[in-house]
A and B are shown apart, each in its own frame.
Chain A
């Protein structure tokens, strides 16, 4: 490629590296702050290097009841994990079934069903806060895992994406399976699901992050600390103290809150990028 310019390439590398560092800075500072004692933190501006209290801070948060939370952070991590897994798996499961019905069957109101699901894109939790809360309260699902998970597992995006993929399956394949005596359930289990493995992995990453990072919904329906998620717990920690913000606890909890989703995104980056970019099509 003769039109390359080495000088410009070096500049690009330098700027990219600088930006990567800048993007890391907020996390780095939170990480170092989480290893200081409260006293050490407030004796200077935020330190760029580690303090001595790291193990103690994290052990204290994970094992004992934390003031302002009413529970330990380990419980919050478990709740967040259950909620994120429940939402990711639930969304994928019901979307697989719905997309399968829409593509491979003909039944009355098929188009209406598709549109009903598609329209939910216009109704995010944020625009129907109170009535959804009332429905969940009437069903007795406040402060429960079902209440955290169920209202969030409908997914127009997943249904739409899977539908697009199913439409690319050649009809001959279905015909061959049918001639060999496979019924609809057998076809779904033995042929369609193995074929859609990559798509499912991509959806899983996106939906796991979606579930883990939920804020408004768990904030509304959990009062009981036993069902609090870590992202919501963060705000409670932040506002619990009357005087100084306990920044060592807040930053340590923030680090713990972002660790699992970051690990997931980095491990499954290939699927994640594919899933995101395919969504557009």
Chain B
């Protein structure tokens, strides 16, 4: 479109100013500082600092706990993405099947999206409280001792369940919308050719859903990476023994709790590179709208 308001030279800058101001002050300035900080080592009191080259990065990358956090992040993200997406897909397929009530089911399943990750964590913490939790009590009856304060695997499982519970509704909304937009003629043709519901799903519906599924995979990974900070902090605070410390949680712990500026900044820079890669990946996908 040709620009309609061409003679106004100052107006666009007035319009852009608030957004640009916020972006420069609170995004780019801190990001640049993080990059600068990553190359310096500060003394214990934060009074002086020295240029250290890549020493911070070397320290981070040779630290066993960093790799532990990386592993935890991968397990956590994959479990949350897979869990939240498969439950959502199953429910969306069923809600799409029933002619009446799809909207009611959407209402009944969409609300967990509105619950804060930290609040979701508290709800699940209560279900699994070692002394009075309902599910931990039931597990105790069948001989499983539940104590996520001591058992790292149980702690991770708890954080995963709370995150899946919250994220499922997001995926459900997308899958249901995608299913309802599928061309019905294809499915009817397959039915006339005597393909059963199972076969129709795997040979027609599922391949047609794959762009949505791919988009959701990226979104779920981003969610598991960043937004679950609140869940982890309320449920386990990264413990026991770092079993639920993700990369993001570690930046917070080392920088804000441990006051190790250089290391935290180096971790921030590594994370930015990682997110940059993910965003680029997603953007390419959005640009091309891959059809399978």
Contact = CB atoms under 8 A, between A and B. Distances in A.
Contacts, number: 297
Given A13-B98, A124-B275, A220-B256, A45 B132 contact: yes
A154 interface: yes
A175 B95 CA distance: 46
A161 B76 CA distance: 30
User: DSSP class of B's interface residues: helix, strand, loop or mixed?
Assistant: helix
A126 B3 contact: no
Q: How large is the interface on A (under 10, 10 to 19, 20 to 34, 35 or more residues)?
A: 35 or more
Interface core residue of A15, A20, A106, A215 (most chain B CB under 10 Å): A215
A215 B229 contact: yes
B153 interface: no
Contact of B23 (A19, A117, A265): A117
B97 A215 contact: no
B207 interface: no
A151 interface: yes
Nearest to B278: A122
Nearest to A33: B126
Contacts of A193: none
A234 interface: yes
Contact of B255 (A19, A33, A94, A130): A130
B214 to A, nearest CB: 11
Interface residues of B, number: 98
Contact of A154 (B23, B33, B226, B264): B23
Contact of A9 (B25, B31, B98): B98
Interface string A29-56: 1100100000001101110100000000
A131 B268 CA distance: 10
Given A113-B20, A129-B256, A175-B4, A3 B123 contact: no
B107 interface: yes
Contact of B15 (A97, A126, A128, A235): A97
B186 interface: no
Contacts of A235: 118, 233-234
B206 interface: no
The 5 A-B residue pairs with the shortest CB-CB distance in the complex, in nearest-first order: A3-B191, A215-B230, A213-B116, A131-B30, A101-B15
Given A94-B22, A215-B233, A234-B118, 12 more contacts: A15-B94, A46-B127, A105-B3, A107-B9, A107-B13, A130-B37, A132-B26, A209-B113, A216-B230, A219-B233, A231-B118, A265-B113
